[in-house]
Amino acid sequence: MKGWIIAAAGVVLAILIAVAGAYLISGGESIVSGNRVAVVSISGVIAMESESGLFAEGATTPEDVKTQIEHALDDDSVKAILLEVNSPGGSAVASDEIAEIIKDARKKKPVVAWLGEWATSGAYYVASAADYIVASPATVTGSVGVIFILPEYSGLMRKVGVNMTVIKAGEYKDFARGYRPLSREEEEMLQSVVDEIYDVFVREVAENRNLSEEYVRERVASGGVFSAAQARELGLVDEIGTRSRALEKAGELGGIEGKPEEVRYRRKTLFSELFTSAMQNIGYGFAKGMAEVYSLYGEVRAAE
């Protein structure tokens, strides 16, 4: 009888460890179903690739956001998505990719953006793709514009006596290397590229916020930043409120009655990946060992 008790206890413990492993893999996602809002974080610099390292959280990338939103769309208990935006912006390409991911998600589930401490440049580009935007009373947002910064240190090189020998094929192949000033033609070339990216930014904000392009260019897209109240007046946000209010709004748009339950899909660091793997292996090894003990015990009992 004691063998059965030991085996049963082992199975229960193995199940608990497996559940803990599943919890870690899901990034803390609640296992209980219900009317939930998936929270997707847009934090730090927006980039095409994240930082690497043992404990590095890295930048927000399109792949990060896509993975989280796919989880939310596949989960039938999730009725809406809340974007927590706290970022200065970053890559124009990455911001555009994330905005497209959000617009695609809106076809299936409503998306509300909550602007935290700041949501400027590419971060506002991303937020503008949501169905509804709630800004914290202390939010700094805007900075709708494009900038391309190139260091130029030819004066320093002359002072220290450094010369450059350049062998190239292609008139502009050595532009923006820093060891010489840009020519007028090179400046015009780069300006044309910046202007085209700027046009895309303006067009997207105008379309997403149901504003005219002329209005956005004249009132919004100077590159300046705005307070939450100013952004509300300009039509860049829908409401000024707390994160709780943004969550409530997401629940309303998702048809949830009462306070929604939150679920997150966190990106794991290398440390958490290793810990999760270890927990899974412990659970598997323990269950396997208990099964072998039970098998041996059964054989002994049968021989008696």
Specify whether 85 is located in the same domain as 230: yes
Q: Give the pLDDT score at 140.
A: 97
Q: Give the pLDDT score at 269.
A: 46
Q: Which domain holds residue 78?
A: 28-143+224-267
Give the chain's mean pLDDT. 81
Specify whether 134 is located in the same domain as 166: no
Strands 225-227 and 111-120: unpaired
Name the β-bridge partners of 240: 135
**pLDDT tens digits, one per residue of 221-265:** 999 999 999 999 999 999 999 999 999 999 999 999 989 999 998
DSSP states along 23-59: HHHTTS--SS-SSEEEEEEEES-B-SS---SSS----
Question: What's the rounded Cα separation, in Å, for the pair 253 and 245?
Answer: 12
Q: What CATH number has the domain bearing residue 217?
A: 3.40.1750
**pLDDT tens digits, one per residue of 37-49:** 999 999 999 999 8
**Residue 43 lies inside a defined structural domain of this protein:** yes
Confidence of residue 26 (pLDDT cuts 50, 70, 90): very low
> Is the distance from CB of 102 to CB of 69 less than 8 angstroms?
yes
Lowest mean pLDDT among 123-137, 148-162, 184-198: 148-162
**Residue 274 lies inside a defined structural domain of this protein:** no
Question: What's the rounded Cα separation, in Å, for the pair 50 and 58?
Answer: 5
Question: Whole-model pTM?
Answer: 0.75
Lowest mean pLDDT among 100-104, 113-117, 123-127, 181-185: 181-185
Specify whether 135 is located in the same domain as 245: yes
* Total domains present in the chain: 2
Instruction: Give the residue from 134, 156, 124, 110 showing the smallest Cα distance to 42.
Output: 124
Lookup: tokens for 44: 């730090």
Specify whether 167 is located in the same domain as 94: no
> Is the distance from CB of 54 to CB of 271 less than 8 angstroms?
yes
Residues recognised as catalytic: 121, 173
